[in-house]
């Protein structure tokens, strides 16, 4: 995130805890992972920040009696709080405005992590956090290269399906309660993350089985530098030349289906990021992922067709995109046109895909950018319906979006 000085917005976000930190602080310094940091002593500090994503969408043939729908959306509003309590102990607390566009919005806990960061090779996070998965999940919406990375992408992992972290769900926004061990070897080139989480609760998982998640990535060129086991979809050339391949897997016994017809869930993905800074200082970026999902030992297609339970995708999917960041500035930013294609191929349901083209106007990396997006396909209409009768038309969709964070 940005290292800009504390603004009036920051001051309005300060809590009594922050105020106490200011009082105890002798120095104020910016930080790279939040809007502002308040140093308490040589080992203790507190940082605050915020993020906003908002868009306007117009979709073909989706309104009754009208050819196009037109909607303004508050897609995300997050508050960030990070702290270091000890040389080896940190705390992360983030919130998200959930259901902001559909029901006025509710501020809920997104991340709540106790971090024991002992050595580059071995660290432990405990609490509510991102489940180790493919790069798209670990980028999150704010650090992906495409604004619509989730709304028209490959099928979600289990931790993205729920509307809350609780009974009948397996998490929300890719988060779940659990523990992750992560680290790196070979001067950071070989990175790993392994976690154990609640996963699906109740329903099909009457035996209270846990979800196991793993990710391993290798950096062939320059080493990516991100907090913990998080990733980014682009560095806009500031990370050097990147070529990283990652493999991830999640498994939960009775992790899908219904109480009467449970099935074991497995999701495996291979992803890559290639980013090259050209001699003219332009930046070319390639993102790609392939997924294979399986549900075994139960959860028949008949149960999926009947509805109910916890439906998980079964089959293959891939997502590939490329972009080019022009080195020349246009007013206060740089243009980054991109192309993307997503194809989802369920075993017992209709295939669905989407073609996407857009232009990002990059003002300050991931901290300030505007996106214009055109999409055509039937992912938007078939959605997460993996029944044998799933149907939907190919439609056009236009999006104008803004992302800000500090």
Q: Is the pLDDT of residue 17 over 70?
A: no
Q: How far is CA 155 from CA 85, 98, 136, 346, in A?
A: 38, 20, 11, 10
> What span, in angstroms and rounded, lies between the C-alpha atoms of 257 and 253?
11
> What span, in angstroms and rounded, lies between the C-alpha atoms of 224 and 239?
7
The pLDDT value given to residue 18: 34
Q: How far is CA 347 from CA 51, 70, 204, 266, 308, in A?
A: 38, 34, 21, 15, 19
Q: Is the pLDDT of residue 392 over 70?
A: yes
> What span, in angstroms and rounded, lies between the C-alpha atoms of 346 and 348?
6
* Strand segments (E) across 87-236: 89-98, 106-119, 122-130, 175-185, 190-197, 211-219
Q: How confident is the model at residue 146 (pLDDT cuts 50, 70, 90)?
A: very high
CA dihedral (19, 20, 25, 28) in degrees, to 10, reads -20
**Direct distance between the N- and C-terminal alpha carbons of the chain, in angstroms, rounded to an integer:** 6
The helix or strand, by DSSP H or E, that contains position 22, with its residue range, turns out to be: helix 16-24
> What span, in angstroms and rounded, lies between the C-alpha atoms of 300 and 313?
12
Domains located in the chain, CATH noted: 120-405 (2.40.160)
- Tell me phi and psi for residue 392, to 5 degrees: 175, 150
* Strand segments (E) across 120-174: 122-130
The pLDDT value given to residue 10: 35
Q: How confident is the model at residue 106 (pLDDT cuts 50, 70, 90)?
A: confident
The pTM of the full predicted model, rounded to 2 decimals, is: 0.88
> What span, in angstroms and rounded, lies between the C-alpha atoms of 356 and 151?
12
How confident is the model over 351-371, as pLDDT tens digits?
A: 999 999 999 999 999 999 999
Highest-scoring range by mean pLDDT, 178-192, 309-323, 387-401: 178-192
């Amino acid at each position: 995130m940005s290292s800009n000085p504390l603004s009036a917005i920051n001051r309005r976000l300060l809590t009594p805890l922050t105020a106490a930190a200011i009082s105890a602080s002798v120095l104020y310094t910016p930080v790279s992972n939040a809007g502002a940091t308040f140093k308490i002593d040589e080992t203790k500090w507190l940082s605050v920040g915020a993020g906003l994503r908002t868009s306007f969408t117009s979709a073909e043939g989706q309104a009754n009696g009208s050819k196009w729908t037109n909607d303004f959306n508050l897609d995300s509003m997050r508050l960030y709080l990070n702290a270091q309590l000890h040389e080896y102990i940190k705390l992360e607390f983030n919130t998200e405005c959930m259901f902001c566009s559909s029901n006025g919005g509710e501020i809920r806990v997104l991340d709540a992590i106790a971090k024991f960061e002992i050595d580059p090779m071995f660290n432990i996070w405990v609490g509510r956090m991102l489940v180790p998965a493919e790069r798209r999940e670990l980028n999150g919406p704010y650090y992906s290269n495409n604004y619509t990375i989730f709304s028209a992408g490959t099928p979600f992992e289990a931790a993205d399906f729920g509307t809350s972290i609780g009974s009948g769900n397996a998490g929300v926004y890719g988060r779940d309660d659990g523990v992750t061990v992560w680290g790196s070897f070979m001067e950071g080139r070989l990175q790993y993350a392994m976690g154990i989480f609640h996963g699906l609760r109740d329903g099909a998982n009457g035996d209270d089985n846990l979800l196991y998640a793993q990710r391993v990535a290798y950096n062939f060129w320059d080493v990516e530098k991100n907090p913990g086991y998080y990733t980014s979809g682009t560095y806009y050339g500031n990370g050097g030349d990147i070529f990283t391949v990652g493999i991830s897997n999640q498994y939960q016994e009775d992790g899908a289906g219904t109480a009467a017809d449970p099935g074991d869930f497995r999701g495996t993905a291979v992803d890559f990021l290639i980013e090259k800074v050209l001699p003219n200082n332009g930046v070319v970026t390639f993102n790609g992922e392939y997924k294979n999902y399986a549900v075994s030992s139960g959860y028949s297609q008949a149960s999926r067709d009947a509805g109910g339970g916890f439906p998980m995708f079964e089959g293959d999917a891939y997502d590939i995109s490329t972009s080019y960041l022009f080195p020349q500035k246009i007013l206060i930013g740089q243009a980054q046109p991109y192309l993307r294609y997503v194809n989802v191929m369920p075993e017992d349901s209709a295939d669905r895909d989407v073609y996407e083209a857009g232009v990002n106007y990059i003002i300050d990396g991931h901290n300030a950018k505007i996106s214009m997006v055109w999409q055509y396909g039937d992912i938007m209409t078939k959605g997460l319906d993996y029944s044998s009768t799933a149907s939907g038309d190919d439609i056009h969709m236009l999006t104008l979006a803004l992302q800000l964070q500090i």
